[in-house]
Amino acid sequence: MGGGGNIGAVLIQVIFFKGSKFSTEMGITYMGMMAIVCTLPIALIYFPQWGGMIRGPKPNYTEQDYYLSEWTEEEQQQGFHETSMKFAENSKREGVERSTLFSPPLK
């Protein structure tokens, strides 16, 4: 029941169960609907280099492209982007191979 964290669990208890006008069954029903509605926006999260739940990654778009896009040309000339590039390389090294990302499951 703590899917929204500790505060979320306390709020759900107060709203739907403790001294509420809802019966226990209706409280559980509303709690389930609230969990679904609050979770649906996660499907909209999209990273161009990795993709998301709805569509896959952009072709030929790398982690370096993604993190480099945060820096202006002037900031890049001053070297501010170097830490981001190290992070991008670590991210790529620790990630899943693109060729296996959308492969059929092994039998």
- Given this model, what pLDDT does residue 2 score? 43
Q: Are residues 60 and 91 located together in one domain of the fold?
A: yes
- Given this model, what pLDDT does residue 99 score? 55
Q: Say if CB 76 and CB 31 are below 8 A apart.
A: no
Range of the domain at 27: 5-43
- Given this model, what pLDDT does residue 5 score? 77
What residue ranges of the chain have pLDDT lower than 70?
1-4, 20, 96-107
Q: Are residues 39 and 50 located together in one domain of the fold?
A: no
Q: Are residues 51 and 82 located together in one domain of the fold?
A: yes
Q: Say if CB 48 and CB 58 are below 8 A apart.
A: yes
Q: Are residues 61 and 23 located together in one domain of the fold?
A: no
Q: pTM score > 0.75 for this model?
A: no
- Given this model, what pLDDT does residue 20 score? 67
